[in-house]
């Protein structure tokens, strides 16, 4: 079936509501279609395509260093994050996770920038992919003026 034979609703079902990947070739076809409804879809899908393309490039760039290490034989690379290093007194939590080589976490940039429900869903989804995880909770106690101040950032993941 040729593209021009598809109804606007069929295009909408396949590409707007479906899970069909958007390609540059497909966008070109949409852009040349004379139907007004298809042109509107073209504008919407073009934005989605650019957003998805930017995300793919971000992931490729982010994994550049890891790919070099994987090619050299390194297999265990940990991603590390911490929370709570701002206050002088209070808890500091740090975690490290090792995923198998080649694991890509699309849409994940900073866990603090996504909604808690989405963060929980991503955590559940990725739980089965991780190879190892380490976590450390440290409480930085108030100190006397005679005691040197402990740097909260000096505590981190330890093997448990």
Q: Which CATH number goes with the domain that contains 104?
A: 3.30.420.10
Residue 50 lies in a domain: yes
Please tell me the number of Cα atoms within 13 Å of 39 on its side-chain side.
Answer: 5
Same domain, 78 and 58: no
Number of domains present in the structure of the chain: 2
Residue 68 lies in a domain: no
Residue 103 lies in a domain: yes
What pLDDT tens digit does each residue of the chain (160 aa) get? 577 788 888 888 877 776 677 889 888 988 899 999 888 989 988 998 998 888 888 888 888 888 888 899 988 888 887 777 555 666 777 888 887 887 777 666 666 777 888 777 777 777 767 666 777 776 655 444 444 444 544 545 444 4
Same domain, 149 and 78: yes
- The three-class DSSP label of residue 46 is helix
Same domain, 150 and 98: yes
Domain with 123 in it: 74-154
Same domain, 141 and 83: yes
- pTM for this model (two decimals): 0.54
For residues 156 and 88, is the Cβ–Cβ distance under 8 A?
A: no
- The three-class DSSP label of residue 78 is strand
Distance in Å from the first CA to the final CA of the chain: 59
Give the pairing type, strands 90-98 and 132-140: antiparallel
């Amino acid at each position: 079936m040729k593209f021009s034979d598809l109804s606007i609703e069929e295009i909408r079902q396949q590409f707007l509501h479906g899970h069909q990947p958007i390609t540059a070739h497909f966008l070109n076809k949409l852009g040349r279609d004379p139907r007004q409804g298809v042109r509107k879809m073209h504008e919407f899908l073009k934005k989605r395509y650019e957003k998805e393309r930017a995300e793919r490039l971000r992931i490729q760039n982010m994994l550049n260093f890891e790919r070099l290490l994987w090619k050299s034989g390194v297999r265990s690379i940990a991603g590390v994050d911490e929370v709570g290093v701002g206050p002088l007194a209070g808890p500091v939590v740090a975690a490290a996770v090792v995923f198998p080589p080649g694991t890509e976490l699309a849409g994940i940039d900073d866990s603090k920038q996504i909604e808690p429900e989405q963060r929980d869903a991503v955590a559940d989804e990725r739980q089965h992919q991780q190879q190892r995880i380490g976590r450390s909770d440290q409480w930085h106690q108030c100190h006397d003026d005679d005691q040197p101040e402990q740097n909260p950032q000096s505590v981190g993941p330890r093997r448990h």
